[in-house]
A and B are shown apart, each in its own frame.
Chain A
Amino acid sequence: MTEYQFHRKHFSLLLFVSVVILSSCAPSRYVKPLEHKQHAISGSFGGPMATIPGVATIPIPFSSLGYGYGLKPRTTIYANWYTTAAIFGVAQFDAGLTQGLWKNTKSTMGISISPSINYYSDVFEHNTQIYPQIDANYYFDYWHKTKDNEKGKEKLKTNNFYVGFSNWFDLKNTKAHNQPQTNHVIFSPQFGHNFERNNWNYVLEVKLLAPYKSNKDIVMDYVSPFGNRGAMGIYFGITYKL
C-alpha cells in the first residue's frame, strides 16, 4: 500500500462525515404523501459507496431519525435529525414537505415534489449552514393487495417503484480560501422501491450523486457507474405509520 493509499484509508473516515452531510445522506422523504392526519416515524441508513483501501467497498453508513404528519390529503410535513452527524458534534436537521402534484384516479401512480431545508451547526465553533433542497419523484404501484388479518382489520400490501431526482443548492459564492464556489446546484437522479406492509414501509433507494462531476483527485475513492464521475449511494429507510 503506497502512502497516498494509506492516507486515503484514514482520510476516508474523515470524509465519511463529509458525505454524511452531503446531499447523499438520506433517501427521498415520503415519495407518496401520508394519509390526512396520519403520523409517522422513520429512520434511514446508508450513503455513498466508497472504497477504503485495505478494507472494503461499502455504502457509508449514515443514519437519521424523523417524523412526518399528513397535514392535508396531499401534503405531508416532515423533519429529520441526523444521528451520525450528532456523534461528531454537528446538529443536522432537515424540515420540509411533500406535496402530491398529481395522481391517477386509481391512485396507483402519482408525482410528488418535496422542498426542504437542511440545517447544520457544530457545537465547537457554531458554524451554521443552510442548504435548500428540492426532490421530485414519480411513483408507480405495480402490486397492490388488501386482505383481512386475524383481528378482522384490512391489511394493506403495496409494492411501488419510484424514480426522480434530488437537487441541493449551495447559496454561498465562495468556499475555502475565497475560492469561487461553482457548485451551486448538485443534481442527483434516483430510483427506489417501496414495500408497504400494514403500518410499516420499507424503502430501498439508489441515488446517482452528481454524476456529471469529477470524482478524481480527492481523498475519497467513490464508486460510480460513471467511472470518474459522481458517486453511487445506497439507502435503506423504514417508516412506521402511527
Chain B
Amino acid sequence: MKALYIFGIAILLLSSCRKRLDDFLFNNDNSITEYKLDNYDGRTTLEVGSEYTVADSMIHFINYPIISEGQTLNISAIYVGDLAKIATDTVILYCHGTADHNDFYWPRQKLYANLGGKYRFGVLMVDYAGYGLSEGKPTEANMYESVNGGLKWLKGYGLTNDRLILFGFSLGTAPTCEVAGNSSSFYMSPSKIILEAPFASSEVMIQDASLLSFPASYFVNVKIDNAEEIKKVSVPLLWIHGEADSFLSIHTHGEIVYNNYVGTAKTAVRVPGGNHEDTPFVLGYTNYLTEILNFIEN
C-alpha cells in the first residue's frame, strides 16, 4: 500500500513537469558584446581566403525593433553592400543555421558578398532573437519575426519583391520556407529561394533515429515543417545538399523537401562527399558561388 502511495505521488510530480525539447533546436550564443567578424577567434562555419575580404565601408551593423509574443525586442543584423543600391539592385537575405550567432556565419556572408564579383549583391544576415546581440529568447515565432523585421528594414530602403532572394541554411531553411510559403503574413515575398541542407521536420529527425513512427508532439511543440511549407512555395527553388550529410540525411530530409516542391522551377545541386556544413568547401568556393549565381541570374 505504501508503495502504491509513493507511486501515485511520483506520477503526480512527474506529470506536472511536462518538459519540452524545443529549446534544443536552437544552439544560440548571446554572450557576445559586439560582432568581431574577421577578428572573431571562436569557431566558425567555414574558413575563406583573403580574396573574399570585404571592405569595412561596406559593412553595416543595423538594429531594428520587432514585436513578438507580446515583447518588443531589439534585433541585430549585418548588411554587407552599398545601402544606396538596395533600392535598385538584388539583395540576398541570408537566414543562418542554429549555431551561435552572426560571427559564426560571417565567412559565409563574405562568400555571398563576393557572388558575381565584389558587392554584386547586397547581403543581409539576421541574428534571430536570442542570438548574438539580438534580444529575447530563441523561439519559432521570434525567429520568423526577426526575419520579418529584416524584410521590413530592406523594404524601407526601397527593396522590392522581385529583387529579393531568400537563402536559408539548415535551421534557416525554416524561416525561408515560412516566408516564401506564407508571404501575405510578412512584409516582403521573395522572387527566388535557396535552401542549403534543409531539414524536413523534427518528426523526421525523431523517426530516423528511432526507426518507429513517433509523432513530433512527443518531444517538441514547434511546428517547423519545411516538407509541408515548401508545398506552398511557387517561386523558383535552388536546393544544395551534401550527399554525405551525416546530420540531416539528404534522403530523408533534403529530398523530401525538394520533391514536395511544386512551384515554377527547381534546381538541385547534390554535392558528393559534402557533409552538413562544408558543401561550399567540398564543391569548391568558385563552383559553389557559380551555381548560386546561375540560379539567381537565370
- The size of the chain A interface, using a CB distance under 8 A, is 56
- The size of the chain B interface, using a CB distance under 8 A, is 59
CA distance A220 to B3 in the complex (A): 36
Q: Kindly list chain B residues whose C-beta atoms are within 8 Å of the C-beta of A127.
A: 215, 217-218
For A8, A85, A186, A217, the residue with the greatest tally of chain B CB atoms inside 10 Å of its CB is: A217
Q: Which of B159-167, B202-210, B265-273 is found at the contact surface with chain A?
A: B202-210
Contacts A14-B219, A177-B260: A22 and B211 contacting too (C-beta < 8 A)? yes
CA distance A59 to B250 in the complex (A): 28
When the two chains form the complex, which single residue of B205, B217, B250 contacts A125, counting CB atoms closer than 8 Å?
B217
CA distance A8 to B3 in the complex (A): 39
Residue on B with the closest CB to A181?
Answer: B213
Contacts A3-B277, A4-B246, A217-B249: A122 and B209 contacting too (C-beta < 8 A)? no
Q: Smallest Cβ distance from A2 to chain B, in angstroms?
A: 6
Q: Kindly list chain A residues whose C-beta atoms are within 8 Å of the C-beta of B24.
A: 10-11, 13-14
Q: Is A88 an interface residue when CB atoms closer than 8 A count as contact?
A: yes
Residue on B with the closest CB to A66?
Answer: B7
Q: Is A196 an interface residue when CB atoms closer than 8 A count as contact?
A: no
Q: B211 contacts A213, CB within 8 Å?
A: yes
Instruction: Give chain A's interface residues, CB within 8 Å of chain B.
Output: 1-4, 6-11, 13-15, 17-19, 21-23, 41, 65, 81, 83, 85-91, 120, 122-125, 127, 129, 131, 168, 170, 172, 174-177, 179, 181, 183, 186, 210, 213, 216-220
The 4 A-B pairs at the shortest CB distance, nearest first, are namely: A4-B276, A217-B249, A86-B14, A4-B247
A-B contact pairs, 22 of them (CB 8 A): A3-B170, A7-B99, A7-B170, A7-B276, A8-B247, A14-B220, A17-B218, A17-B219, A18-B209, A18-B210, A19-B210, A22-B210, A23-B212, A65-B7, A83-B14, A88-B21, A123-B18, A129-B214, A177-B256, A177-B260, A218-B208, A219-B208
